[in-house]
Every structure is written in structure tokens, then in C-alpha cells.
Chain A
């Protein structure tokens, strides 16, 4: 297992390098000057502009710039934001807790809802409940999350006035009252993500269960006199959950991407909203750093998924 882990870690390195080349290449090949605002300013003389370019290393050849950028990245230095002049690393860590809170809670509730639902609907296939749940899940994974979000706002914020319209990022949790306010404004963004994620996962769980229910080992368990509930819980569920473990880990990056959209609908000050703001402001260092952070997340959870899979299934032996 330890050897497999090391090998798997080593495989992720070229993947991350490849991704960094792509992201860097896209930016380097992009038309336009990263200092365009600065360059269009007539008060800045040509020689000063050239000196700024030199100091930023922009006049060096592309491979040299790439290696320098990568070296800084490895030291955790992601440069400075054009817009706010603060360190990009700082900016990201300022906003990361908000994203992690929303995504984490949504993810946890999603798994907690989807697995029992998937198991139950598969066990009671073709029942009214099964039809109802699978239809809701189908809608949940087909309807784009920005529309679900807007519908939630129309119903729960505008019509019913249960939840605030817009996320107030200035709330500091000091007492019960402010905690309640914080929870209240987080309900809708979390609900949108949960709905989408639970719907996707539940379909997988159900499909896995349906694959396993008619298999020989389940029939053996039934024929030795076990009750159906025991067959499902003790035998089928365990086997069906092995591929689901991978999906739970693999789905996490998708939830982060979903957070880009939910954060922008509800104006939650997380890294997704940071990404959109920086793109609108042409704040290249921030855009690059956030995109690369998303890539690291994807690669990391791919790794987690593979390792969990190997750990959960004794039939899989990696050497």
C-alpha cells in the first residue's frame, strides 16, 4: 500500500506540470499586454515602461519565464494582485474558508442524503417512491444550478422572505444572534449545491445497487434465509459502495466548480467569486493562481479516490 501511494503520488507530478504548462501557455500566448492599462498611460515614458517590463521579467524568453514562475509557485509565492496590490496567496487564504464552509457542508449533507436514498430506491425499485425520487434526481442534475439558485431567491427570499436576498460578508460571528444570521444567509447557497450534488450521487448509488442486487452472492444470501433488509445492508450495500467511494472523492472538484456559480449568484465572498471578479478586472496573477488551485484540487482528489478505492476493495492489488 505504501509503495502504491508513493507511485501514485509520483504520477501526479507530471500531470500537475502538464497543467501548469497549459495554464502558463494560455496566458503567454494570449494577445495583448498584461500591462496594457499601464502601457496606455501617456504619462509613463517609454524607458520607464521598459524598466518595469524588465523588473517583472517580461522581456525574457518564454521558457525562462515559465521556470521562474514555477519556482515561485513551489515556494508558495503566487505574485501580487494587479487590482488590490496584495499578495495573491493572502487573498486566496482570506476567501478559502468561506468556500470551504459552503462546499463542505453542502457536500456532507449531499452524501448523507444521496446514499440512503439511492439504496432505498434501488431496493424498492418501481415503487411510487422510487419513481418520485428518481424523477426529482433527474431534474436536479439536469437543471443548471444558476437557475435553481434564481428560483430559490424568487421563492424563499422575494416571496416568502425567509432568507436574506444577498450574502452579507461583514457579519462576524460573535454571539448567538450573529451566528443565526450567518446560518440563515448560508442556507440557500448550500441548498443549491446540495440539491445538484445529491441528485448526481444518488443516481450513481442506485445504479450500482441495481447492478449488484441480482448477483449470485445476493441470491445465495437470500436462499440461506436472510431477510431482504439484511441482504441489502450486509452484502449488497458494502459491494456497491466501493465504486461510490471513488465517485464521492471525484465529485468534490465539481462541487468546487459549482461553487463558482453559486457564489456569484448569492455573492458569497469565496474563491469562486474571486475568480469571476479577477477575470472581469483582468487581474491575471489572481486568475492564474485560482485556476491552478482548482487544478491542484482536482489532481489531489483523483489521488484520494484511487487510494481509497485500493484500500476499500481487497480484490484490487497494486504492485
Chain B
């Protein structure tokens, strides 16, 4: 007797995801980078601030695999440490964006009266000039937040909140679309008929249906947020100089690009590989979570 193979939704998604080879490579590369940045500083114990002018701007060697910077500090240690900040900013900013986007989208899609004003607000945020506004706000509020929360905490909070608050619009539209197409369906009416409240209908019955596209948007959003943070640091307006994020390292490497190209190449490669992996994973997830595409 043949037993039927059990197939779950999640299993189907995973099966589909595995067929996207580059997405798997992305998972591998990203895990490696995550592992290196989280645990690396414990295993690779060279200090990030060991100044040694005799060793300034040396190329990659056995003692310093990524070479050294203009003060002779080890660039591998600094890159590993900087990766923590860059990825933490990316993930936290996306969490902010997802929260705001889901909230606005649910309210607009579920309560007809809120739809008009909220969508107008969304359209206005879409028209905001992202990077210039980000630069403006950071330059204005940086100093007072630094006094309030310390040099790193203040700027971290500021960047995370700003990047999150400037990037929730796509998710809001996705979530609103799901609500509009589902809120009159029979299963929602049935839930309402047995006396389920609005909040439970929103969170338990409708929202889970939007999960797939939101996950895809979140994944790609992490890549975009990492690029935004690096761009800010690269323009010299992000984290303070003693906090070596990947963008900050590139900003400083700019001045030595003719004599010490390794200084720019390693942090730049790390940013690029991280974002590339995240985007490939997003691509794979899109294929896996979209039922129309699965074969």
C-alpha cells in the first residue's frame, strides 16, 4: 500500500525555494557573513583600535588579512565589527518600516473611513525626497541626540527611525490591497457572524494572508536599508569616526584610494556581497511564496 506524501504549505515553499540556486548561495553567503560579524570578534581577537603608525596603510598580509588603515589599525577586525552595526541598522530599520506599514495598511484597508486620508498620507511620503531629507534631519538632530543617548546610541536610533519612517509605504500598499480583496470574503463574514471582534479578524484572519509579500518586501528592504546607512556614513554624515561601519570605512578609504586600494575594496565587497545575497534571497522567496509561480 502506498502512503500519501504529506505536503504542507511551508514544505512547498521550501521545495520551491531550493530550486532557486542563487538564493541558496545567498543564504550561504549571508550566514557566513552573519556568523563572521557576530562571532568573528570573539575568535579574531586583534583589537579594532590598535594604533601603530609604523604599519599604516599596509596591504593584505598574514598578520593583517585585510591590511591596515591610515593609523595602522587592523582592517579585518574593523570590518567584522562594522558589519554588526551595518546589519543591525538594516534589520532594525526594516522592523520599523514593517510595523508602520502594516499598521497603516491594515487601518486603511479595514476601515473604509480611514482609507482616503491614510492613502493620501502614503502618497505624500512617497513623494518625499528620501536621501536629502535623511541628510537634513540627521545633521540637525545628531548633536542633541548624542548628548541624550551617547555617541553611538543616539545616531543608531536616529538612523533606524528615519530609514524606517521613510520606507513603510510599499508595505502599507501591499497590506491594504490584501485587506481590500479579503475583507468581504465569506470566511471573514463567518468569523464576524460567530462574534469575533475587529482586532482578532484583522490579526488572525486577514493579516496572515499578506505575510508572503510582506516577507519578500522586508527581505529586499534590509538590503536597501544597509545601502542607505552605508551611503550616509560614506558621505561622512552617519556614525561617528570611531565607529567603523562599512560605509564609514569606505568614507575614510576614499582619501587613500590611489595608494591603498585594499582599504576600500574589502569593506565595499562586504557591503556588496551582503546586499547581493539579501536580494537573491528575496528573489527566491518571491518565487517560493507566490503560488502562481510554483510549478
- Known A-B contacts A165-B258, A299-B127; A280 and B140 likewise in contact (beta carbons under 8 Å): no
CB-CB under 8 A from A138, the residues of chain B are 276, 279-280, 283
Query: What residues on A are CB-neighbors of B126 within 8 Å?
Result: 302
| Contact partner, A32, options B132, B144, B258, B272, Cβ 8 Å | B144
How close is B33's CB to chain A, nearest CB, in angstroms? 14
Cβ–Cβ < 8 Å partners of B258 in chain A: 157-158, 165
- Cα A282 to Cα B237 in complex, Å, equals 12
State whether the Cβ of A290 lies closer than 8 Å to any Cβ in chain B: yes
Stretch of B58-66, B91-99, B187-195, B249-257 that contacts chain A:
B249-257
Task: List which B249-295 residues lie within 8 A (CB) of chain A.
Answer: 250, 253-254, 257-258, 261, 264-265, 268, 271-272, 275-276, 279-280, 283
Chain A residues near B250 (CB-CB < 8 A):
146-147, 150
Provide the residues of chain B in CB contact with A260, threshold 8 Å. 131-132, 235
Specify which chain B residues have a CB less than 8 angstroms from the CB of A146 in the assembled complex: 230-231, 234, 247, 250
Pick the contact of B140 from A26, A294, A302 — CB < 8 Å?
Answer: A26
Interface size of B by CB at 8 A reads: 44
Interface residues of A in 150-180 (CB under 8 A from B): 150-151, 153-154, 157-158, 165
In this assembly, does A261 line the interface, its C-beta being within 8 Å of a C-beta of chain B?
A: yes
Please, which residues of chain A bring their CB within 8 A of the CB of B261?
154, 158
How many angstroms from the CA of A257 to the CA of B224 in the assembled complex?
14
Q: Is the CB of B230 within 8 A of A23?
A: no
Does B137 reach chain A (CB closer than 8 Å)? yes
Q: Which of A1-50 contact B (CB under 8 A)?
A: 14-15, 18-19, 22-23, 26-27, 30-32
With both chains docked as a complex, state the minimum distance between the C-beta of A138 and any C-beta of chain B, in angstroms.
7
Q: Is the CB–CB distance between A150 and B131 below 8 Å? A: no
CB neighbours (8 Å) of A264 from chain B are 235
Given A154-B257, A264-B235: A276 and B135 interface contact (C-beta under 8 Å):
yes
Contacts A23-B136, A32-B140, A276-B135 given; does A154 touch B276 at CB 8 Å: no
CB-CB under 8 A for A23 and B127, given A32-B144, A146-B231, A147-B272: no
Interface presence of A72 (CB below 8 A): no
B238 adjacent to chain A (CB < 8 Å): no
A144 engages B272 (CB within 8 Å) = yes
From residue A237, how far is it (CB to closest CB) to chain B in Å? 23
**Closest chain A residue, CB of each to CB of B227:** A144
Contacts of A31 in B (CB 8 A): 140-141, 143-144
Main secondary structure of the interface of A (DSSP, over half): helix
> A74 interface residue, CB < 8 Å from B?
no
Residue contact B276 to A139, C-beta cutoff 8 Å:
yes
Nearest chain A CB to B174 CB, angstrom units? 17
- How many chain A residues touch the partner (CB < 8 A)? 47
A265 near B: Cβ within 8 Å?
A: yes
Asked whether, in the complex, the Cβ of B141 is within 8 Å of the Cβ of A15, the reply is no
Contacts of A294 in B (CB 8 A): 129, 132
Q: How far is the CB of A286 from chain B (nearest CB, A)?
A: 11
CB of A144 within 8 A of CB of B144, answer no
B185 to chain A, nearest CB (A): 26
Q: Mark B123-155, 1 if CB is under 8 A from A, else 0.
A: 110111111110111011101100000000000
A102-116 to B contact mask, C-beta < 8 Å, 1/0: 000000000000000
B223 at the interface (CB under 8 A from A): yes
| B236 interfacial by beta-carbon distance below 8 Å | yes
Q: Which residues of B contact A191 (CB under 8 A)?
A: none
Q: Closest B-chain residue to A295, C-beta based?
A: B129
Chain A residues within an 8 Å CB radius of B257? 150, 153-154, 158
Q: Which residue of A lies closest to B233 (CB)?
A: A146
Bound state CA distance, A150 and B283, in angstroms? 27
Closest partner residue, chain A, to B268 (CB atom)? A147
Interface centre among B131, B237, B272 (most CB of A within 10 A): B131
A26 with B272, Cβ < 8 A, contacts A18-B124, A153-B257 known: no
* Bound Cα distance from A138 to B257, whole angstroms: 26
Q: Are B231 and A261 in contact (CB under 8 A)?
A: yes
Q: Check if A182 is an interface residue, CB within 8 A of chain B.
A: no
Beyond the given pairs A280-B237, A302-B127, 19 more chain A to chain B contacts, judged by CB atoms under 8 angstroms and listed by A's residue number, are A15-B124, A27-B140, A32-B140, A32-B143, A139-B276, A142-B223, A142-B272, A144-B230, A144-B275, A146-B247, A147-B271, A158-B261, A257-B129, A280-B139, A280-B236, A288-B136, A291-B129, A291-B132, A294-B129
> Residues of A with Cβ closer than 8 Å to B?
14-15, 18-19, 22-23, 26-27, 30-32, 138-139, 141-144, 146-147, 150-151, 153-154, 157-158, 165, 253, 257, 260-261, 264-265, 275-276, 279-280, 282, 287-288, 290-291, 294-295, 297-299, 302
Q: List 21 A-B contacts (CB under 8 A).
A: A15-B127, A22-B128, A26-B137, A26-B140, A27-B136, A30-B141, A31-B143, A138-B276, A144-B227, A146-B247, A153-B257, A154-B265, A157-B258, A165-B258, A265-B254, A276-B237, A291-B132, A291-B133, A298-B127, A298-B129, A302-B127
